Copies of this chain bind each other. A is one copy, B any other.
């Protein structure tokens, strides 16, 4: 691709991106309001309204090929129930990638387990299968893999090491609705998977209902333990518990409540009806961007493992910055130049979100986050997973992850880009790559 030889927009030149509305994908607000109205006017807000949730569970199970699915009020709770199902408890260790979202770690910690971090693969920002085995100890109870951004972890080597050690894998599929690996949808490859359906259409998860989540598993025993943990009051609870050890906890299970909000279910159904179409469109856009960036100096586009098929593609499209191509131009300056051209590129993930900058705290890698780097007296009086015998982490630990994240870029994800948008995006990258010396 040629083009983009002009004066950079950050220096007062013309912007590369002139299309005003980038994405033609509609949020279907009218349809959502109609569905919500039917629930509020009918019986959908009461416990009798659980039928709505059952329909979404069945539809989603068919979509990903899972034997069992359970809807819950958010993604965090799906991982909480999943770790519980796996028997994670006090004294256990769980292996997590050093780059993830904290809600992927916290539920295991709340059950009493200590997080043990693992390097990420610099090409994908996903858990590095080669580092997992080094982190396994006799206390390792589960391996948590996160299909961050909708890209898919390298499941063959992960499952090989997990199976060899007899340790179950939990998949965090919050960003990866409908992604697959070797033809199997994520959430059905490890022992159990959790999906977040959080947020608002357009900027939330691909399937979203404000706050909502879904557990998936192929394993009847794990499914029953999920129901036992957080589904007091579920109208079909007793019908679903077959194992005598579970039935003896009738009629409430353990008495916790992770029930989804019925209006979250109603809204999510609107997006769920279009998830296949949305995934196809996002993947077409992603492929164009990846192919277009392959020749552009300064950036390596997202790497995808040979058997992986990304899906969902929440958060943005990751790429790796190569300052060595651009005379050492700092990443932040590179991003600013692209932003001036009209491409919403971010340096790293979750930048400046949640008041982190104000608090003077680095978000990543996770071993540097205060609760993990220094420990925390979770239950007071020196009790809890990050207390006795816990030494914390030094910021110099996990050099591979630190180096990878220092290069991370996030490009915008579009679903149905307006004509010319992809070309203008690519023009912007070329323009900055060719004109970088003017902003060194």
Residues of A within 8 A of B (CB): 29, 32-33, 36-37, 40-41, 43, 45-47, 49, 73-77, 80, 87-91, 102-103, 105-107, 109-112, 199-201, 203-204, 210-211, 232-233, 235, 237-239, 247-252, 254-257, 259-264, 267, 354-356, 358-361, 363, 369-371, 374, 376, 378-381, 383-384
Contacts and interface: CB of A to CB of B under 8 A. Distances in A.
Given A254-B371, A263-B264, 20 more contacts: A36-B40, A45-B199, A45-B267, A73-B73, A75-B257, A76-B256, A89-B381, A89-B384, A90-B90, A103-B255, A106-B232, A106-B254, A106-B255, A110-B254, A233-B354, A248-B370, A248-B374, A250-B356, A250-B361, A252-B354
A396 to B, nearest CB: 20
A247 B210 contact: no
A352 to B, nearest CB: 10
Contacts of A49: 200
A197 B256 CA distance: 16
A204 B48 CA distance: 12
A12 to B, nearest CB: 33
A366 B89 CA distance: 25
Contacts of A378: 89, 254
Given A203-B46, A263-B264, A371 B257 contact: no
Nearest to A213: B257
Contacts of A259: 74, 211
B112 A262 contact: no
Contacts of A380: 87, 89
B90 A379 contact: yes
A41 B33 contact: yes
Given A254-B378, A354-B251, A380-B89, A45 B210 contact: yes
A233 B91 CA distance: 28
Given A103-B256, A261-B263, A379-B112, A355 B237 contact: yes
7 contacts: A29-B41, A33-B36, A45-B204, A73-B73, A89-B381, A251-B359, A263-B267
A239 B74 contact: no
B105 A255 contact: yes
A363 B238 CA distance: 14
Contacts of A248: 370, 374
B33 A37 contact: yes
Contacts of A29: 40-41
B73 A371 contact: no
Which of A91, A238, A379 has the most C-beta atoms of chain B within 10 angstroms of its own C-beta? A379
A256 B46 contact: no
Given A199-B46, A200-B43, A370-B249, A257 B89 contact: no
A369 B252 contact: yes
A264 B209 CA distance: 12
